[in-house]
Structure 1
Amino acid sequence: MTKPVLIVGAGLSGAVIGRELAEAGHLVRIIDRRSHIAGNCHMARDEASGVMVHVYGPHIFHTNDDEVWAYVNRHMTFMPYVNRVKTTSNGRVYSLPVNLHTINQFFGKTLGPDEAKAFILSLSDASIGEPVTFEDQALKFVGRELYEAFFEGYTRKQWGCSPRDLPASILKRLPVRFNYDDNYFSHRFQGMPEHGYTEMVASILSHENIEVELERDFVRADAEGFGHVFYSGPLDGYFDYEFGRLGYRTLDFEEFRHDGDYQGCAVMNYGNADVPYTRITEHKHFSPWETHERSICYREYSRACGPDDVPYYPIRLSGEQALLAQYVARARMEENVTFVGRLGTYRYLDMDVTIREALDTAQSYIGAVTGNLRPPVFSMAP
């Protein structure tokens, strides 16, 4: 019998890896420094309003992966949910992503799809060849008016710097739809867990071979006695930040309440830089199958992540990339540890990708143990 496995972190990565290994006959111990499971997708029912709250900000499940969709539905019924984001810019409300309705409303026109394509092309900056910066990308594809209304101010607030200092890759695709589709995501499967992600993760963790300990910090000496460690905490934290701290953005949430319906949608972005918050989320709209008279909302503020803050978005600019390379090289010298998940690989990951990689990582480990091979150091190379 192989030695038991230690998993650091009871979020999606740790839970899914733990369940796969437990079902394969491995004994699994999972520890987490927080007082709850499910990581940043933890949800809790607000006593005053009865609303199910996304404690660390909204998490909307969307995927094209049939296996992942079947996996989450084995552990929780997913209810239909379509993310329809609105944005307030210069005192008016528009729908996102920028679509035909947004274009016609913003410019006061009644264009059809082909007319709108030609119109936006006439506004775009044709002098930009291959976009280098975020601003280049936006100006090349949508022109200055739409860029300043919907992208510039929001991006400054979200990332704490000028869009000229961000790579074009952050704005990966043409941010315009020439139809009236306002579904924020384009994946085949979209939904919300009926009773929240925390109960879904609890179901994943419910196995006789899994032991979970909360409010338990990890130190490397904890690895003694275990055959392998799967670490989903911060990569730099594993090495006690010996080369310095990788950069993240964090979020502050300003909670407020409302009797009735505050904004009529789940997410309202604020595109102007002079509005200090990036968006307001009204959580009862994330569960449209429920009815609540009272409401709970969060204003979200983005800022640089300090040592005691919850890290959300890896910055991954040139300085961080150089530091990351040092940590990756250091990690590859380790024995019997695999770095997984958003923090362990210093990448922004959607939930479906997190689950996909966790499933693949577990199977890779099982195969390595069977073949007497060394398991990979990274679930996916940073």
Structure 2
Amino acid sequence: MKKYLIIGSGFAGSVIAEQLSKDSLIEMWEERNHIGGNCYTERDEDTGINIHKYGPHIFNTDNVNVWNYIQQFCQMMSYVNRVKSIYRGQVYSLPINLHTINQFFNKTFSPTQAKEFIQSLSDATIDSPKNFEEQALKFIGKDLYQAFFYGYTKKQWGCEPTELPASILKRLPVRFNYNDNYYTMPLQGIPKNGYTEIFEKMLSHPNITIHLNKRFTTNDADFSTYDQVFYTGPVDAFFEYKFGRLGYRTVFFEKHTSEGDFQGNAVINYADEETPFTRIHEHKHFTPWEEHEKTVYFKEFSKETEVEDIPYYPKRLTNDIEILEKYQEEINKLPKITFLGRLATYRYMDMHHVIANALEIAQKFK
């Protein structure tokens, strides 16, 4: 029977474990005191509400195979994420849609009129956008960019939008109808009992042994005892930062509880640069099928990732890509180690991307 080592118990590692455990022995190392990575959910002691400990996760995909796969481990409840944004004391709907445009410019445009109006505002002098700001100005013009993107992006990424690549804003979600569904994917939902239940079921096979509170270092493991190692942690950490640290943004949360309903919506962005936090999420609204007298909400702040922080978003600036290429050369020399997931590949991946990739990789080892 083959033996595999998996570093990390988020979706990447857990899918691999679930897929290979039927015919193999799985050893999993997790540096935190729980499974599930950043998708971990737990009941709040003060309110009883099921909270997303590391920030909101709404499952959305157009991949039917992934959708069907995940529902083996949970009851997925239909959920539509309707995000709002506060700018200069006014509440607007996101993504920018016909209601946002009419409200912002005090108009009553039809879809065709709104499209023509936005086109008239776009910066036609920008042919090939070289950065985030130029990408936005090319498509929506200065006013909407300043209102909904400039301040929020500066807080989120900790730098001027002109320093960020245009690729971060690949598609501007501007709609010329009143659709305020934040996502465009046809399959959307939240697991009824939270995400932790999914991981518990995925990792329940007796062939899987989980070691919590076990931080990985290359000195800790004799890789020769395993048929393959699957690594889902930060790629630069694996190589002990020999070529330098890759840039990440991380987030931290300020918790508040109160009676009733605090903001009436799951997520509200704060677009003004002067407001120190990026958004507030109120978690009772992620489970509208439950009833709670109290409420819990979190103010979310963004900052640079320091040594003891959990990395969230790869920045992928020019210097980062140059460092990544050096690490990739080292990865190519390690055929018995598979790097997968957001951190190990240093790219932004939604949950469904991670799951699809892990399912594909697992097939190669069955």
TM-score between the two structures when normalised by the length of structure 2: 0.98
Residue by residue over 1:129-151, the C-alpha shift from the partner in whole angstroms, topping out at 9 and shown as x without a partner, is 11111111111111111000000
The one of 139, 143, 146 aligned to 1:145: 143
Residue by residue over 1:221-246, the C-alpha shift from the partner in whole angstroms, topping out at 9 and shown as x without a partner, is 41241111000011111111111111
Inter-partner Cα distance in structure 1 for 2:32 and 2:49: 22
1:6 is aligned to 5
Secondary structure at 2:71's aligned position in 1? helix
1:18 is aligned to 17
1:301 is aligned to 301
Secondary structure at 2:301's aligned position in 1? strand
Q: 1:365 Cα deviation (Å)? A: 2.5
Segments of 5+ residues of structure 2 without an aligned counterpart are none
2:107 is aligned to 109
Inter-partner Cα distance in structure 1 for 2:233 and 2:128: 36
Inter-partner Cα distance in structure 1 for 2:303 and 2:215: 25
Q: 1:252 Cα deviation (Å)? A: 1.2
Inter-partner Cα distance in structure 2 for 1:300 and 1:216: 28
* Structure 1 segment 192-271 matched on structure 2, within 5 A: 192-220=190-218, 221-222=220-221, 223-271=223-271
Inter-partner Cα distance in structure 2 for 1:219 and 1:326: 19
Matching residue's letter, 2:338: T
Matching residue's letter, 2:344: G
Inter-partner Cα distance in structure 1 for 2:365 and 2:305: 33
Secondary structure at 2:100's aligned position in 1? helix
Q: 1:169 Cα deviation (Å)? A: 1.1
Inter-partner Cα distance in structure 2 for 1:8 and 1:190: 29
Q: 1:364 Cα deviation (Å)? A: 1.7
1:274 is aligned to 274
Residue by residue over 1:254-296, the C-alpha shift from the partner in whole angstroms, topping out at 9 and shown as x without a partner, is 1111211010000000111000100000011011111111111
Secondary structure at 2:225's aligned position in 1? coil
* Structure 1 segment 177-196 matched on structure 2, within 5 A: 177-196=175-194
Secondary structure at 1:218's aligned position in 2? coil
Q: 1:124 Cα deviation (Å)? A: 1.1
* Structure 1 segment 78-89 matched on structure 2, within 5 A: 78-89=76-87
Secondary structure at 1:196's aligned position in 2? coil
Inter-partner Cα distance in structure 1 for 2:232 and 2:21: 18
Q: 1:21 Cα deviation (Å)? A: 0.6
Tell me which moved more, 197-206 or 222-231: 222-231
2:308 corresponds to 1:339 = no
The structure-2 alpha-carbon separation of the partners of 1:125 and 1:335, relative to structure 1 and needing over 3 Å to count, comes to closer
Q: 1:123 Cα deviation (Å)? A: 1.0
Matching residue's letter, 2:280: I
Inter-partner Cα distance in structure 2 for 1:219 and 1:309: 17
Matching residue's letter, 2:12: S
Inter-partner Cα distance in structure 1 for 2:217 and 2:335: 15
Aligned-pair identity (%): 52
* Structure 1 segment 310-349 matched on structure 2, within 5 A: 310-349=310-349
Matching residue's letter, 1:240: E
Q: 1:298 Cα deviation (Å)? A: 0.7
Q: 1:209 Cα deviation (Å)? A: 1.4
Q: RMSD value over aligned CA atoms?
A: 0.9
Secondary structure at 2:21's aligned position in 1? helix
Q: 1:175 Cα deviation (Å)? A: 2.8
Number of residue pairs aligned between Structure 1 and Structure 2: 364
Q: 1:101 Cα deviation (Å)? A: 0.3
Residue by residue over 1:288-318, the C-alpha shift from the partner in whole angstroms, topping out at 9 and shown as x without a partner, is 1111111111111101000100000000000
Secondary structure at 1:27's aligned position in 2? strand
Which runs of 4 or more aligned residues in structure 1 lie more than 4 Å from their structure 2 counterparts after TM superposition?
Answer: none
2:30 is aligned to 32
Secondary structure at 1:338's aligned position in 2? strand
Residue by residue over 1:99-126, the C-alpha shift from the partner in whole angstroms, topping out at 9 and shown as x without a partner, is 0000001111110000001111111111
Q: 1:174 Cα deviation (Å)? A: 3.0
The one of 22, 40, 43 aligned to 1:42: 40
Secondary structure at 1:241's aligned position in 2? coil
Q: 1:219 Cα deviation (Å)? A: 2.7
Segments of 5+ residues of structure 1 without an aligned counterpart are 367-382
Inter-partner Cα distance in structure 2 for 1:19 and 1:155: 37
Q: 1:345 Cα deviation (Å)? A: 0.5
1:66 is aligned to 64
Secondary structure at 2:252's aligned position in 1? strand
Inter-partner Cα distance in structure 2 for 1:306 and 1:47: 29
Inter-partner Cα distance in structure 1 for 2:347 and 2:121: 34
Matching residue's letter, 2:101: I
2:63 corresponds to 1:54 = no
Residue by residue over 1:57-82, the C-alpha shift from the partner in whole angstroms, topping out at 9 and shown as x without a partner, is 00110001111101111100001110
Inter-partner Cα distance in structure 2 for 1:148 and 1:208: 54
Secondary structure at 2:70's aligned position in 1? helix
Secondary structure at 1:143's aligned position in 2? helix
